[in-house]
């Protein structure tokens, strides 16, 4: 439908709006991101602590071998240190096994004793600090990474030795990697369970909001008189305020109806008196008075009806199912125009509801059907379907009445949808029902578009507000 044919208030809402994320989605997303970050940080800390603990235990094990070597050396004669015999680790005797020990004369820098695993190689030892003890990481004879524990020991005044024990760190790295894998698997399972718990918590926690939305939709669709107030204490005041608003709205509309009725009675009586007096007299003046009084009566009834519909449009909880109303009108029109033997085809899905009064819907569709039956040759088709011309969150319904008659010219169609213009006043030979339909549609925030149908005649497309189903939270 052309945008220029829409009312101004509908055009404002027709612009696309950015999709709003759900509250539950935001809560779940934030909680999930925080959980993933927290679990990742916790896993990193656990693996780091395990690696540090493993390295400390590894260094303590190497230090035990250093002490054992010192003990064996101390058992010899002064000036003749004894070669360490058995440290309880077979890998010290296997060539290039990754486990080594060496004893170096600290003054001369020469190797005094070395493990068989060195197989003639030497360990590259970093310089010791003044404290005489150090733990370092270096490359072994075979290029593997090793951890070295060194200690400076003095046997008397002239005997100072550096004792170093080294062990390959591949086993340490493998253990750390295995632990990291186990931690990752455990935390992944824990994270999935935590995300699932968050999802359930949010869904269960927001269920009262979903219930409130459903209850409000029932009121809006006319299935309930008030919003359910049996809600958690955080939402109960909102439900109470909504019910007060609904009651206030109904009272305002009822007062408006009363004033409209009083005005109608107040005006009809004087107009009836004027009409009767004019009809009881002769002459052009009396004729003119009767004619103008009749016009005034028509205008009063028309504008009072528009005021009634404008008030009714703002009532919460008024809706009517479209399919039964359209089917009844089609049967009635088939009988009224029985002399033309028309085929009136209705395609209306069940469940679609118009947000407004039943009598207004019947007047809208009835005028379109009556006009189509008058001008059609043999076929009239009524199609009802949902329409999103109102934009997201403002669903509407489209009712199209098409016929195979002569139709209207483009100029006639433009005149027909102008506000306050009647086709019988602008285009000769056409009825005034279409202008009434256009006025009523505008009151409900809808619109009427006239075009050429695929049947060859006039296509009247009516856009009206639809009573919406309950949205999910």
Cα 310 to chain centroid distance, Å, stands at 34
pLDDT tens by residue, 277-313: 777 777 777 777 777 777 777 767 666 666 655 555 5
Same domain for 336 and 438: yes
* Alpha-carbon separation of residue 206 from 42, 401, 471 (angstroms): 30, 44, 13
Mean pLDDT of 368-395: 78
CA 468/CA 349 separation, integer angstroms = 15
Picking from 257, 292, 313, the residue at the C-terminal end of a domain is 313
pLDDT tens by residue, 329-343: 999 888 888 888 888
Same domain for 336 and 267: no
Coil, helix or strand at residue 77: strand
pLDDT greater at residue 204 or residue 317: 204
* Backbone angles phi and psi of 77, in degrees to 5: -80, 155
Provide the percentage of residues in the chain whose pLDDT is more than 90.
19
Same domain for 414 and 293: no
Same domain for 349 and 279: no
pLDDT tens by residue, 114-127: 998 888 888 888 88
CA 311/CA 318 separation, integer angstroms = 12
Task: Give per-residue burial for 149-185: e unless 16+ CB within 10 Å, then b.
Answer: bbbbbeeeeebbbbbbbbbbbeebeeebeeebeebee
End-to-end CA distance of the chain: 32
Same domain for 409 and 393: yes
In a domain, 57, yes or no: no
pLDDT tens by residue, 55-104: 999 999 999 999 988 888 877 666 677 888 778 888 998 998 899 999 99
Structural domain of 413: 320-465
pLDDT tens by residue, 352-364: 888 877 888 888 8
Domain count, the chain: 2
Same domain for 361 and 417: yes
Same domain for 290 and 249: yes
pLDDT tens by residue, 33-58: 999 999 999 999 999 999 999 999 99
In a domain, 130, yes or no: no
* Alpha-carbon separation of residue 142 from 62, 116, 170 (angstroms): 19, 14, 13
Picking from 313, 335, 370, the residue at the C-terminal end of a domain is 313
Cα 211 to chain centroid distance, Å, stands at 18
Same domain for 380 and 406: yes
In a domain, 8, yes or no: no
Domain of residue 418, CATH code: 3.30.565.10
CA 100/CA 119 separation, integer angstroms = 10
CA angle, 403 then 408 then 412, to 5°: 145
Cα 469 to chain centroid distance, Å, stands at 17
Strands 379-387 and 396-403: antiparallel
Picking from 284, 313, 342, the residue at the C-terminal end of a domain is 313
Same domain for 283 and 350: no
Same domain for 409 and 388: yes
In a domain, 126, yes or no: no
In a domain, 53, yes or no: no
Same domain for 340 and 461: yes
Same domain for 348 and 281: no
CA 141/CA 130 separation, integer angstroms = 27
pLDDT tens by residue, 104-113: 988 888 888 8
* Backbone angles phi and psi of 363, in degrees to 5: -70, -40
Structure tokens belonging to residue 326: 């359209």
Cα 457 to chain centroid distance, Å, stands at 44
In a domain, 400, yes or no: yes
In a domain, 80, yes or no: no
In a domain, 124, yes or no: no
């Amino acid at each position: 439908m052309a945008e220029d044919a829409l009312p101004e208030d509908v055009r404002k809402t027709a612009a696309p709006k950015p999709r709003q994320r759900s509250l539950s989605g935001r809560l779940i997303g934030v909680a999930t991101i925080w959980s993933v970050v927290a679990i990742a940080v916790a896993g990193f800390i656990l693996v780091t602590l395990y690696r540090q603990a493993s390295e400390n235990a590894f260094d303590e094990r190497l230090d035990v071998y250093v002490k054992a070597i010192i003990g064996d050396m101390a058992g010899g004669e002064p000036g003749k240190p004894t070669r360490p015999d058995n440290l309880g680790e077979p890998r010290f005797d296997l060539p290039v096994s990754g486990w080594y020990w060496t004893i170096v004369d600290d003054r001369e820098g020469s190797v005094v004793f070395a493990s068989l695993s060195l197989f003639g190689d030497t360990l590259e030892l970093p310089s010791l600090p003044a404290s005489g003890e150090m733990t370092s990481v270096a490359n072994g004879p075979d290029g593997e990474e090793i951890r070295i524990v060194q200690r400076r020991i003095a046997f008397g005044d002239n005997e100072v030795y550096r004792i170093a024990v080294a062990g390959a760190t591949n086993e340490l790295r493998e253990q750390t990697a295995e632990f990291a894998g186990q931690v990752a698997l455990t935390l992944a399972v824990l994270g999935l369970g935590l995300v699932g718990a968050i999802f359930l918590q949010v869904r269960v926690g927001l269920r009262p909001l979903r219930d409130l939305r459903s209850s409000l939709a029932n009121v809006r669709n006319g299935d309930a008189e008030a919003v359910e107030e049996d809600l958690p204490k955080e939402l109960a005041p909102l439900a109470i305020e909504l019910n007060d608003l609904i009651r206030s709205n109904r009272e305002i509309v009822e007062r408006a109806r009363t004033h409209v009725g009083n005005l109608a009675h107040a005006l009809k009586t004087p107009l009836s008196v004027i009409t009767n007096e004019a009809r009881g007299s002769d002459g052009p003046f009396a004729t003119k008075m009767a004619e103008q009084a009749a016009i005034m009566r028509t205008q009063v009834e028309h504008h009072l009806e528009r005021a009634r519909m404008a008030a009714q449009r703002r009532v919460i909880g008024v809706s009517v199912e479209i399919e039964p109303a359209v089917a009844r009108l089609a049967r009635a029109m088939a009988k009224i125009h029985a002399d033309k033997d028309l085929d009136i085809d209705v395609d209306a899905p069940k469940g679609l509801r118009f947000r407004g009064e039943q009598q207004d819907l019947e007047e809208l569709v009835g005028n379109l059907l009556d006009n189509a039956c008058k001008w059609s040759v043999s076929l009239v088709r009524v199609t009802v379907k949902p329409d999103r011309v109102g934009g997201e969150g403002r669903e509407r319904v489209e009712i199209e009445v098409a016929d195979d008659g002569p139709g209207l010219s483009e100029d006639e169609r433009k005149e027909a949808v102008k506000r306050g213009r009647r086709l019988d006043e602008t285009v000769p030979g056409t009825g005034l029902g279409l202008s009434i339909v256009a006025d009523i549609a505008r009151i409900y925030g809808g619109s009427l578009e006239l075009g050429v149908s695929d049947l060859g005649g006039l296509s009247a497309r009516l856009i009206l507000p639809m009573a919406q189903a309950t949205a999910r939270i």
